[in-house]
Chain A
């Protein structure tokens, strides 16, 4: 069943049930991936998952229900389930269904990678990567993995106000994981590229990373200045993204509450929420409530410019919606989420940033951020590994230590931003960042 047929059944049932405000949110995703291990193909997977959610207003309360079973009987029952679910909600404001931002407001986005590649193309990519990995070092050993894949998603939204929007986006990737063993210990390195191109340097990068980590030593407990590599700045941004939610601010769950217009970070830091970042193939012109999306500075030269809002919390906070209503899946209620959260490039080359650090740590890995970072308090204490920096040069590998601090203090302690921005895997909600220098973090080691 396609979106138009699903919409027709649900709209008909909604009218028959006496509803006047409702929407239908539909998502169809497909993916393909292939993996190789120890020089042989190890697995191939394909998936197609579709689902729909129905939301409606009943006596000023919002009810919703969702299903992956797209048969007429199930769809008809969906409306009754949504109506019943509205009864337990404690409403404090009328639900809002949106008329639309006006056709001109929705950016026309080129829909790249909407079709999945053929399986042979994926197989070729992973086997080629295996060969590149095993020929990159004699120390390469069992567990060395390569993967290639693609995914595409179509999101459609229609409501009782006449809004009807649809958009497709897709991504491709290759991934290399090198495992080396020098007879004393194993070590690993990973790299990815946002394409199926076999002529990237990801096998080389993963191998170099694995080799560079061999023989890592310990770090003495103390205060250190550190550079987080771009990948780990992205990880930190992802872990603390919730602080930018206007809903969290209003509910006392973000310490950025009430600070719009104030300095919250060092002047060299600018953080942008960008649904149309050029490096990201998963772009979205409208949000989960149908509001047109747009690029905006969250932190501009250290000053907090805006938080992120959906329709409900924009109204509660007396602000304009920012087009950041999101649904993690068709089953999830509307929440607030950034698109591509990115740090603007700074003025230093990566080498200049190392010289500016002079002595300290270059952190290449942060682990367990889901547990060791608390967006409500800002506190973090994270298992880390990386390199010592001595006199502006990366020297010995180090591991087995934690880096601890508070994210709100960290924003103010930024003392340099590199000029090269790295994008993570393409995603509707992704991250991009350069290397960043932070002064004065607590390190626990030996």
Chain B
């Protein structure tokens, strides 16, 4: 992507004014997006993102410059901007010797650029037609087919020089059902670290129907009651509870500056002993997987919580310096315009000891949250929230009528203790996580779990 000699020159400039470390991140990313609405493909997005970010460290102070001008002059200006911010030139030159190597674990059958756009359009139409055809109460279907071919290179003053290429594909269907001047919506958005071959595994028709059925269920639902109750949260995207309630608080981004509820708790029992949680960026073709992270370190599998005991954090280079702990291959950024930081990859609660039927049967009165939406957290206090997209009341151990419009809130430290049953049907769901280094694809996951008490934000 960039010549070795030019990289060495840029790194040399970046550390010429007193920095103790520098890194170059170069990115070329082609992304495509087909959007469908009212049965018609209305737009095609076809973009080349191209640029470079250069970063220097002085201890735990960071200096970062980015540019889309990848001409030699543009890159030299970018390196000089970093050096100029660090300090004044001291006349010393540092010779950098890069030793390129390769870490490759993924195989993509089809690159997005090698596939006719019309074939992608067929998949999108198939999903949208399936959603529209579900019921005459489905009044609108929006669909998006998106793919990304992300190529990048990382080089640093420790001699590291690595490239990676990562392909991701996703289909997202939103269906709207209407009755008597009221709208309700349903969503399904499966994705993976693959090209168009992803749809050999995932049926577009099924994806469309799933979104439509959720919209129809919500149309027949009453508003969810409000208050504290026992809640069973289903597998797949249900794992967003761990992502928000705990995951963000285990990122060095907040732990490293002491602004996390989980700082200083290694080795402590922070969750119910039934809870084991893992962040694993190595899962083949995972939505949140990669060969190397955005600092060039290999992806890894990190046990965060084992039988309720806090074992590790997710740590990038800056976090490693701040915390005095090794890096874990979790450094990520949306693109070269962002300075990277520690982020989750594929993060999930592992299978536990309880049978799924026992979990539902154990609830006298409560909520069964079948599909979840997104959420957010304040890592400082651990206060989190997330939306329930499809839910049902549970009475006397039986799943009853559908309810809508609910959210769940709580504090991470409390909820981790209150997850008192963990089932055995682990599955993941795909999301996009926003934080200081932009939006990155992350997988969340869990088996069916029971939270013995949580605040359900419904109607009173």
Contacts and interface: CB of A to CB of B under 8 A. Distances in A.
B225 to A, nearest CB: 9
A43 B64 contact: yes
A119 interface: yes
A95 B217 CA distance: 38
A179 B378 CA distance: 12
Contacts of B405: 379, 381, 404
Contacts of B344: none
Nearest to A66: B47
A201 interface: no
Contact of B409 (A66, A221, A383): A383
Contact of B387 (A42, A49, A371): A371
B327 to A, nearest CB: 18
A331 B31 contact: yes
Contacts of A67: 47-48, 50
Contacts, number: 239
Given A68-B48, A376-B176, A88 B65 contact: no
Interface string A280-292: 0000000000000
A166 interface: no
A333 interface: yes
A92 interface: yes
B259 A333 contact: no
A64 interface: yes
A187 B176 CA distance: 40
A306 B286 CA distance: 46
A381 B228 CA distance: 15
A372 interface: yes
Nearest to B85: A44
Contacts of A66: 45-48
B226 A442 contact: yes
A63 B373 contact: no
A333 B146 CA distance: 14
A47 interface: yes
A14 to B, nearest CB: 16
Interface in A347-367: 367
Contacts of B178: 252
A223 interface: yes
B407 A372 contact: yes
A179 B381 CA distance: 11
A374 B373 CA distance: 11
A69 interface: yes
B129 to A, nearest CB: 13
A81 B48 CA distance: 11
Interface stretch (A395-403, A410-418, A421-429): A395-403
A89 B407 contact: no
Nearest to B261: A186
B65 A46 contact: yes
A217 interface: no
Among B34, B65, B459, find the residue whose CB has the most chain A CB atoms closer than 10 A: B459
Nearest to B28: A69
B29 to A, nearest CB: 9
B331 interface: no
A413 to B, nearest CB: 14
Interface string B145-157: 0000000000000
Contacts of B38: 251
A378 B49 CA distance: 35
A48 B386 contact: no
A370 B439 CA distance: 13
A99 interface: no
B460 A46 contact: no
Given A49-B51, A371-B386, A179 B66 contact: no
A38 B257 contact: yes
Contacts of B280: none
Contact of A382 (B48, B257, B457): B457
Interface in A25-40: 37-38, 40
A48 B409 contact: no
A105 interface: no
A442 B378 CA distance: 23
Interface in B364-407: 373-376, 378, 380-381, 383-387, 404-407
A140 to B, nearest CB: 12
Contacts of B376: 367-368, 370-371, 383
A176 B257 CA distance: 16
Nearest to B404: A379
Interface string B46-87: 111111000000001111111111100000000001001100
A445 B454 CA distance: 10
Contact of A48 (B61, B68, B378): B68
Contacts of A43: 61-64, 339
A383 B407 contact: yes
Given A44-B64, A444-B227, 17 more contacts: A43-B61, A45-B63, A46-B81, A50-B69, A66-B45, A68-B48, A69-B50, A85-B117, A90-B40, A142-B258, A221-B226, A253-B183, A368-B407, A371-B385, A372-B407, A377-B184, A383-B457
Interface of A: 37-38, 40-51, 62-70, 74, 81-82, 84-90, 92, 119, 141-143, 179, 185-188, 221-223, 251-253, 255, 330-333, 367-368, 370-372, 374, 376-379, 381-383, 385, 399-404, 442-446
6 shortest interchain CB distances as A-B pairs? A402-B457, A143-B259, A444-B226, A383-B385, A371-B374, A331-B47
26 contacts: A47-B65, A49-B51, A51-B68, A67-B48, A69-B68, A69-B70, A85-B46, A89-B43, A90-B39, A142-B257, A142-B259, A188-B378, A221-B227, A252-B178, A253-B140, A332-B45, A367-B383, A368-B374, A372-B385, A379-B404, A381-B405, A382-B407, A382-B457, A383-B376, A400-B383, A442-B459
